[in-house]
Amino acid sequence: MRKSAYIFSSGFLLLIILTQGLQAQSDIRSLRIDSLLQIMTLEEKIGQLCLLNAVTKDVSIRDEIRKGKLGGILNETNPDTLRELQRIARDESRLGIQLLTARDVIHGYQTIFPIPLALAATFDTALVARTAMVAAQEAKAAGINWTFSPMLDISRDPRWGRVAEGFGEDTYLTSIMGVSMVKGYQQEQQGMITGIASCVKHFAGYGAAEGGRDYNSVELSELSLRTSYLPPFQACLDAGSPAVMAGFHDLNGIPATGNTDLLTGILRKEWRFEGLVVSDWESVTQLQTHGLAGDEKQAAALAFRAGCDMEMASYAYQTYLADLIHAGTISMPQLNQAVAHVLYLKFKLGLLPGQILPQEPERISLQTESFRNLALEAAIKSIVLLKNDHQLLPLSSDTKNVLIVGPMADAPHDQLGTWSPDGHKDETITPVDYLHSAENLSFEWKYIPGLRNSRDISTESFKSLVKAAKAADVILCIVGEEAILSGESHSRADLHLPGAQEEMLRALRETDKPIVAVILAGRPLVLSAVLDQVDALLYAWAPGTMGGPAIIRMLLGENQPSGKLPISFPTHEGQIPLYYNHRNTGKPAFTVLSDLSSIPEEAPQFSIGNTSQYLDEGFEPLFPFGFGLNYSTSSLSDLVLSSSVCLAGDSVQVSINITNTGHYEMEETMQLYLRDEVSAIASPVKELKDFAKVFLKPGERKKVVFYLNEDDFKYMHPNLQHFADEGYFKLMIGTSSQTNLETRVYFKPLVQETDSQGDIINLKTQLIENENIPLFKTENNH
């Protein structure tokens, strides 16, 4: 007892010390910021709210910095220039406040990792944090202290080009991936950012742009906004992200940059956010283009009063804020608050006069080789195996001659993907590069591109391509879409392989040779036609600097595929938006329709069913969320709950056995989903609540354990209150969202007891007696 008491006392003392330290840090921050605000001129205050493009030609950046008229710059990447600009700010401006130096460091700086959508496919939060940490180290070494990442927009429409920048369709997965990136970027110590600052974007709902067309309008109910789109932002702000970027779009008719409900109502009043809100590129002056403002002066007033602290790239604040303050349109306390938000971020970065950063935490080696090894690991773990008929992969030792075709097999720039402006294609290793340098290959290989690029429609080379293919044991087709076809402003209406790539696959299929297809793309593509032409299919996304070694090593069996889809793949663009956690409807479909020719002539109206689906494409995706094959096989069994009832304030242990029934090592991602069977809203058919990665040797069996608590049963009610109802929940576990095993669990909330006067006398949990909840189990090998 004494020892236990001593341990408790020591831990409690440490908690007090840490709490006091953080409180002291907060007090110091407030004191520094208040002291600066008292001595700043109006011009200097407005200057802190201006973030300008460093390469602009119409202003002298150095003179603006000396006069204290800039709070930050973006897109300058020359380390010597950035050091000089910071020296001017520190030594030659009146106050010595240094600059925010911003850059879009989205999935790496010079070492380029897989695009964020691909990083989500790893289902590996620790790995994602490490990639962000390396990106921060490289960017910081160049003089950059602020990135506009992570992007937290939930997207259920692969036509949208910016789907590449996010983590897919699921709110939970996006939340935890976003938190991992924030922590990786910032590497906080004692409340100070020792890496680079993150900025979560685009607040809010941008991923639901109508038709998947970038910058387009968004119509979302408040319930949908708060249930699906806002939680990742709140999670990342709770994790310490100090900045939020408003979106380009309008939300229910109000542009996000001028949306008071979003920027003040939710961020400031509800969430008590103390950090910085920055516009997107020129989105303040674009309020005039939206039709919300008559001129740039009015645009400045609307954005500022809505809660946008800092203007990016345009000059409305710099030009008009002083006039608006003198006219009383904006008050001095409002201005001071906005400036304080900017100084809050600068304090956390150590940019205020006299600040000394704490000792930085131990870093991983700055050797370029270690960064490239991490990029290789990330690329390997992001690749998703979608098809492997007759166990064609990994390639057997009997394979002696391989023909490599396709425009993406040796495309170093396109392999990096969108938003990789500082990556160097000369340092990218493509599949062809890797094969040239590989030693002890057991086969001969030849590369014929077939097409100049992914958009090429010429079929002139196909005849010679087919002739060469007839001499090969296996054809390796590396196809997809170039980097320019995804990303900001790069939406697509047709999601098939562009150019003549599908036609090339059909021509090669005529040879009757085994075909392995590897697809590089920044989004889910429509692959229905491709599946029929290939025997094996790997989805490699835009895999980054080390994509080539990752792909070839996986084909050879040196690494095993373990990626899982973070977004559903449609059979046809007409199914979009398509996502696994949809509502059930009153007429859910169970039998899939996919062929109009099977409908009898003059059939009665409802003879083929009266359910929610498409007559020609059914209702199911081609590949569901969470899907991804292994070279091995597995079976699941023995789903067991520690209790059939989860009591408020308690937890239920959920265990399940998984066995590797194949001949290869494997890493599987077990996924746990819940569905509220009866609720105040029409609940989704399932929602991801947790996942676990497990490594298995051939024949090995392991028990995977999850824990459910009250938070897992909560949902947003129609009155916008977030709590859990009493009742049954369906619990589902599997290796994708098309789950293998299921059972039920009952959640029991706390019940308040009152005395005769109605006063609450205690809170106790009402137990369920004699509850016998059956276990529904279906074994499914996959």
List active site positions. Answer: 280
Nearest alpha carbon to residue 357 among 512, 592, 574, 194: 194
239: number of Cβ within 10 Å: 19
- Both tokens of 567, joined, read 């977004």
Ramachandran quadrant class, 350 (left: phi over 0; alpha: psi -120 to 50; beta: rest): left
The CA distance from 240 to 347, in Å, is 14
- Both tokens of 418, joined, read 């969108």
The CA distance from 206 to 218, in Å, is 7
Give the 3-state secondary structure percentages of the chain, helix then strand then coil, rounded to 5.
Answer: 35, 20, 45
Measured in degrees and rounded to the nearest 5, phi and psi for residue 519 equal -110, 130
The CA distance from 499 to 212, in Å, is 21
First to last CA, the chain: 51
- CA angle, residues 603, 606, 611, in degrees to nearest 5: 135
The SS3 assignment for 668 reads strand
The DSSP code for 221 is: -
CB 670 within 8 A of CB 735: yes
Measured in degrees and rounded to the nearest 5, phi and psi for residue 695 equal -100, 135
Which residues are registered as beta bridge partners of 181?
A: none
Nearest alpha carbon to residue 280 among 117, 51, 435: 51
The DSSP code for 168 is: -
* Alpha-carbon distances of 359 from 186, 374, 642, rounded to whole Å: 14, 25, 45
Nearest alpha carbon to residue 627 among 379, 384, 391, 383: 384
Residues 6+ apart with CB under 8 A from 743: 639, 641, 730, 731, 773, 774, 775, 776, 777
Nearest alpha carbon to residue 180 among 26, 378, 417, 14: 378
- Both tokens of 330, joined, read 């904006």
Beta strand 401-405 with 444-448: parallel, antiparallel or unpaired? parallel
- 477 sits in which H/E element: strand 474-480
